[in-house]
Amino acid sequence: MNAEIDVTGVVLKTERLTLRPFRETDLQDFFEYASVEGVGEMSGWIHHKNIQDSKAILEIFLSEKKTFAIELDGKVIGSVGIEKYNEEVLPELNDKLGREIGFVLSKDYWGRGIMPEAVKAVIEYLLNDLHHDFVVCGHFAGNTQSKRVQEKCGFKPYKMSKYKTEYGEIKDNCINIIFLGLE
C-alpha cells in the first residue's frame, strides 16, 4: 500500500549533500539541469523547453510535498521524488507499506557518486524514520546508469513491466526492490 508522504521541514544530510524540500528560489537551478536534452528522457519525461516548463513542475513539487532537492555547495543539482508505486502492477505489496523513488541528476555531476549518496539517504529515511516495509525503484531496460545506482543502493531485481513515457513511447521497465526482511 502506498504510504502517505509529506517532506515539509525534512532535511537529510550526507557527507557532501543536503536533501531538502524544493523552494521557489530553486527555479533557475532546476531549469539549468532539467532543460538539458537527455536528462529527463532517461526517466520518461521530456526535457524542459523553457523556464515556464520548470516553473510548472516546481509548483507541483511545492504543492505535492514529496520531492527532495539535492543541494551541493548551495546549488540544486537534482532531485529524488518519493512517488506512488503502481499498485496494479505490484498487487502483492498491497498489504505492506511503501513507496517508489525516482531520481534525476544534472549531467554536470554524473559519475561522481552523488546519486547513490542521495538515494541511500532517502532509503534510510523511508525505512528507518517512516518505517516503510519496502522501497521500489525502476529503470528502463537500456538505462545502465540508473541500474548501477540502484545496485549500489542495495535494490534487487524484482519484476519487469511496461511503462508509457510522457512522450508516448512504451518501454521495458525493470522494477527493483528493497524489502525489509528480504536479504
Q: 16: exposed, middle or buried (C-beta count within 10 Å: 0-12, 13-18, 19+)?
A: middle
Q: What was the pLDDT predicted at 122?
A: 98
What gap in Å lies between CA 177 and CA 136, rounded to an integer? 4
DSSP state of 125: I
Q: What was the pLDDT predicted at 149?
A: 96
Rg, Å, the chain Cα set:
15
Round to the nearest angstrom and report the end-to-end CA distance of the chain.
21
Confidence band, pLDDT 50/70/90 cuts, at residue 183 = very low
**Residue 96 confidence (pLDDT) above 90:** yes
Confidence band, pLDDT 50/70/90 cuts, at residue 181 = low
pLDDT tens digits, residue range 4-46?
999 999 999 999 999 999 999 999 999 999 999 888 777 777 8
Average pLDDT over residues 86-109: 95
Q: Does domain 12-133 have CATH number 3.40.630.30?
A: yes
pLDDT tens digits, residue range 50-67?
999 999 999 999 999 999
Contact call for residues 158 and 136 (beta carbons, < 8 A): yes
Which residues neighbour 73 within 8 Å (Cβ) at sequence distance 6 or greater?
Answer: none
Q: Which three cell numbers stand for residue 22?
A: 524544493
Give the burial string for 37-46 (b: 16+ CB within 10 Å, else e). Answer: eebbbbbbbe
Q: Counting every residue, how long is the chain?
A: 183
pLDDT tens digits, residue range 99-152?
999 999 999 999 999 999 999 999 999 999 999 999 999 998 988 999 999 999
